[in-house]
Amino acid sequence: MWTACVLTILPEMFPGPLGVSLAGQALADGLWRLDTINIRDFAKDRHRSVDDTPAGGGPGMVMRADILGAAIDGARTRYPDLPLIYPSPRGRPLTQARIRELSEDGGVILLCGRFEGVDERIIEARQMEEVSIGDYVLSGGELAAMVMIDATIRLLPGVMGAADSALEESFENGLLEYPHYTRPREWEGRAIPDVLLSGDHKRIAEWRRQQAEAITRERRPDLARSGTPKPAKG
């Protein structure tokens, strides 16, 4: 079973939004497992401290390598083959391709940082993969971990209602997604494009492809320059 093992000082944040909608139903149905480990359980003092002042001075606090190391080792005892990811704004940008890889890996161990971050030595010693969900800073890694988990579990077999739904979404074909429409046929003077009502599946596929390419060129030229997209599903 695909497993998300989350190391955090705030285990009460989970499952949070992962406990509702598609993710929550899949969790209740046993399609994936959530295992939260409280980093404070590995603290060495009666206050269950996990951080200390930064070497060299400066504001804030830094999570200690020795405590994080013990927590990570405990997680790896349970899940020795899962990749270890540290959500971090300095990490490589998260992509749909990486999400799809994670969905096929059997699970993931996620270390949620807090304060000013974690001691650099733990990243090096445990060979953590740093991943960023965007060019901004959060209060901690928990929300980023939820984003990664949600994006991944929706790709697991049986989670989404239609198996083909994920194949035409943004980024799956190297393009942003084409526009969608539904009833009513006309709303506030805006009509559904005639081609979508034609019943001609080849023309519809071509129109969707053209729309996806145009939107990608306009909104994400970096994606448009990154290479030749895969053919859209007809």
Residue pointed to by tokens 């295992």? 35
* Nearest in space to 120 (alpha carbons), one of 56, 41, 49: 56
Instruction: Tell me the C-alpha distance between 222 and 216, whole Å.
Output: 9
- Contacts of 120 by beta carbon, 8 Å cutoff, 6+ apart: none
CATH number belonging to the domain at 2-153, selected among 3.30.70.120, 3.40.1280.10, 3.90.600.10, 3.40.50.1110: 3.40.1280.10
**DSSP for residue 168:** G
Instruction: Tell me the C-alpha distance between 21 and 116, whole Å.
Output: 33
pLDDT in tens, the chain (234 residues): 999 999 999 999 999 999 999 999 999 999 999 999 999 999 999 999 999 999 999 999 999 999 999 999 999 999 999 999 999 999 999 999 999 999 999 999 999 999 999 999 999 999 999 999 999 999 999 999 999 999 999 999 999 975 555 556 657 778 999 999 999 999 999 999 999 999 999 999 999 999 999 999 999 998 877 754 443 333
Reading the block at residue 48, the tokens are 């269950």
Reading the block at residue 228, the tokens are 């030749």
Please state the domain extents for the chain. Answer: 2-153, 165-225
Domains 2-153 and 165-225 share a fold: no
Instruction: Tell me the C-alpha distance between 109 and 152, whole Å.
Output: 13
CATH number belonging to the domain at 165-225, selected among 3.40.50.970, 3.30.2420.10, 1.10.1270.20, 3.90.480.20: 1.10.1270.20
CA distances from 89 to 26, 50, 113, 154 (A): 29, 21, 11, 24
Would strands 107-111 and 2-8 be described as parallel, antiparallel, or unpaired?
parallel
Can you list the positions of beta strands (E) in the chain?
Answer: 2-8, 32-38, 51-52, 62-63, 84-93, 107-111, 129-132, 186-187, 190-191
Instruction: Tell me the C-alpha distance between 105 and 162, whole Å.
Output: 22
